[in-house]
Amino acid sequence: MSFLNKLGIGVGAGAGAAHGAPRAMGSSGRPRTNGPVPVAAVGAARAPEPHEANRISNGLKEFLWNLDGLGRGTLLDLGPAWQTTLSFFIERGFRVSSEDILRAWKDFLVEEEGKLREATGRAAQHTLDVSPAARAMRFLEANLQYPNSSFDAILLWDLLDYLEPLVAKQMVANLTELLRPGGVVFAMFHSKKPEGFQRYRVVDPTTLQVISSPVLCPAQRVYQNREIQDLFSRYRTVKSFVGRDQLRESLFIK
């Protein structure tokens, strides 16, 4: 078992003995699946067949409402570069920047593990500070490098659940700097530890496609409402939508 896995943050450590992903539900509570119910991603060893399901997203609807009339806005998408999502916003006049933070986090952890192994080989552990704070700083120095007030909107998805708490906290602080006053963040939080690993893409103004994917990073923690408010304490408005699929959608307006 690798050092990072021992710490519980290693790449490929399963998010738990998960069997059966949550059904994608609409706000009405009825299943809104498009095809078979997604099967959970159970650890990296068993890559699931990609399954897709649609879920009604009041958060997305509200997010778009807040951006209505913005004209040529700027959007930062921190999920994978999906054609549908990029096209959706580009068609609406947005200039879109894309950066898959979870993939970057996974790559970063692999790189850190390599460095650590190298340092251990040279009996010089002290050369690499492996404390969470130092790791958070190293990760954020290499990612999200944009000028302040660059974006009108940020799609954060559910990635905070998968980052180390210190990285998540510092990242939210950095994102706040990148957002213009009045800018909007769309984030999602799992109400309980996610059983699978899912990515999301925009289908239409009220629908997200939920795609079960191989686990990139194990979930790190479940945020309670109070903790979410603390994370986004610099935002003037917070709006949340709770779904029956254990997913809370939140909008934060700076």
In angstroms, what is the minimal distance from the CB of 227 to another protein?
29
In angstroms, what is the minimal distance from the CB of 96 to another protein?
5
Residue 125, number of CB atoms within 10 A of its CB:
11
Identity of the residue numbered 110: V
Distance CA(39)–CA(31), nearest Å, equals 15
The strand pair at 74-77 and 151-157 is best described as parallel
What string marks each residue from 220 to 239 as x (binds another protein by CB under 8 A) or -?
Answer: --------------------
Which residues from 39-68 bind another protein, rule CB under 8 A?
A: 50, 52
In angstroms, what is the minimal distance from the CB of 78 to another protein?
11
What string marks each residue from 152 to 191 as x (binds another protein by CB under 8 A) or -?
Answer: ----------------------------------------
Closest CA to 254 of 161, 158, 149, 159: 149
Distance CA(131)–CA(178), nearest Å, equals 26
Enumerate long-range contacts of 115-118, CB under 8 Å, 24 or more apart: 116/3, 116/4, 117/3
Q: Which two tokens stand for residue 20?
A: 């059966």
By the 10 Å C-beta count (0-12 exposed, 13-18 middle, 19+ buried), 84 is classed as exposed
What string marks each residue from 190 to 209 as x (binds another protein by CB under 8 A) or -?
Answer: -----------x-------x
Contact call for residue 37 and another protein (CB under 8 A): no
What string marks each residue from 117 to 156 as x (binds another protein by CB under 8 A) or -?
Answer: ----------------------------------------
Name the residue nearer to another protein (CB basis): 199 or 248. 199
Name the residue nearer to another protein (CB basis): 103 or 169. 103
Name the residue nearer to another protein (CB basis): 84 or 125. 84
Angle at alpha carbon of residue 206, lines to 204 and 208, rounded to 5°? 70
Distance CA(131)–CA(153), nearest Å, equals 32
The strand pair at 74-77 and 198-204 is best described as unpaired
Closest CA to 200 of 189, 192, 191: 189
Name the residue nearer to another protein (CB basis): 183 or 250. 183
Contacts of residue 91, defined as CB under 8 A and 6 or more positions apart, other chains included, come to none
In angstroms, what is the minimal distance from the CB of 146 to another protein?
9
What string marks each residue from 63 to 102 as x (binds another protein by CB under 8 A) or -?
Answer: -----------------xxxxx-xx--xxxx-xxxxxx--
Residues found near another protein in the complex (CB under 8 A): 50, 52, 80-84, 86-87, 90-93, 95-100, 103-104, 201, 209
